[in-house]
Chain A
């Protein structure tokens, strides 16, 4: 892979990890503030160990698969997965789907955590432990999926893991300083970017996995990113016009 592709690989891993970690931080903060930090942080720690074990087992295992089969399989998965992100991001950007509001979700989590009774077993508040464990594990699985698939297919697992590690340090540091959910992070824009990158790399690798060479080799990834950006912007524009027209019709009817 050329330098540009490495940069985009690092960027995809970093952006996807940032989005997921911001979401996990909201859950952990709510649990920590209302239920205490000890059980919450133990829940986070256990989830991180499970995620690290999954990465340690699956990462090297994937590299044993022949490269073309791996690229076809992983490329197809990334393409389907990326289109899911992109579809939601387009619907959000055009107003057809509500954008995620970390501040509101944080308040909701706070209220839910306060309403729960306290069950202490083995010295742990099980509500806080389970909430943090599940939250970090589920959000982290997407990070692990992207790091492993991207890393193994490009033979750059350490680079993909570096992107995730930078995101982890950044989100944790900011979360520690502000002690509030990171509601100012432009989550939809990040998810849009991740959707474009996953879709582009997925398309590239799936076709290469079939033994077909792209014109321009790795440069085709940049072309795919450009094409998908233009296509998605066109869809956002079209959907916004549709929405405005529907609102105007409703106003006339009223």
Chain B
């Protein structure tokens, strides 16, 4: 059991790392872009760079706040 937990933890740290919020934002953005494209509403290619810009900034802000509170 501990092997499975350690294995899962390794891959979580490897891919997602310090801030899960970035991964969640990327997944949510891809779902939204996919839905918009599927419904033929808009080809929202610009949405992903925008999400990267916003959530990278938010993640950096969270990191600084965490470092200041220590």
Task: Give chain B's interface residue range (CB within 8 Å of chain A).
Answer: 20 to 34
Q: Which residues of A contact B22 (CB under 8 A)?
A: 80, 83-84, 87
How far is it, in angstroms, between the C-alpha of A219 and the C-alpha of B35 when the chains are bound?
A: 25
Are B60 and A235 interface neighbours, CB within 8 A?
A: yes
Residues of A that sit less than 8 Å from B by CB: 72, 76-77, 79-81, 83-84, 86-88, 90-91, 96-97, 141-142, 145, 199, 203, 206-207, 210-215, 220, 224, 227-228, 231-232, 235, 239, 242, 246
B29 — nearest CB in chain A belongs to which residue? A206
The chain B residues found within 8 Å of chain A, CB to CB, are: 14-19, 22-23, 26-27, 30, 33-34, 37, 43-45, 48-49, 52-53, 56-57, 59-60, 63-64, 67-68
Q: Are B52's CB and A91's CB within 8 A?
A: no
Contacts of A84 in B (CB 8 A): 15-19, 22
Q: What are 29 A-B residue pairs whose CB atoms fall within 8 Å in the complex?
A: A72-B30, A79-B26, A79-B48, A80-B16, A80-B22, A81-B15, A84-B16, A86-B56, A87-B60, A88-B18, A90-B60, A91-B60, A96-B64, A96-B67, A97-B63, A141-B14, A142-B14, A206-B26, A207-B33, A207-B48, A210-B34, A210-B37, A212-B37, A212-B45, A213-B43, A213-B45, A224-B49, A231-B53, A232-B56
When distances are taken between beta carbons in the complex, the residues of chain B under 8 Å from A239 are 60, 64
Are A87 and B18 in contact, CB atoms less than 8 angstroms apart?
yes
Chain A residue numbers with a CB within 8 Å of B43 are 212-213
Give the shortest distance, in Å, between B2 (CB) and chain A (any CB): 18
- B37 and A211 contacting across the interface, CB-CB below 8 Å: yes
Q: A87-B63, A96-B64, A213-B45 are in contact. List 10 more A-B contacts (CB 8 A).
A: A79-B26, A79-B52, A80-B26, A83-B26, A83-B56, A141-B14, A206-B30, A206-B48, A210-B33, A231-B53
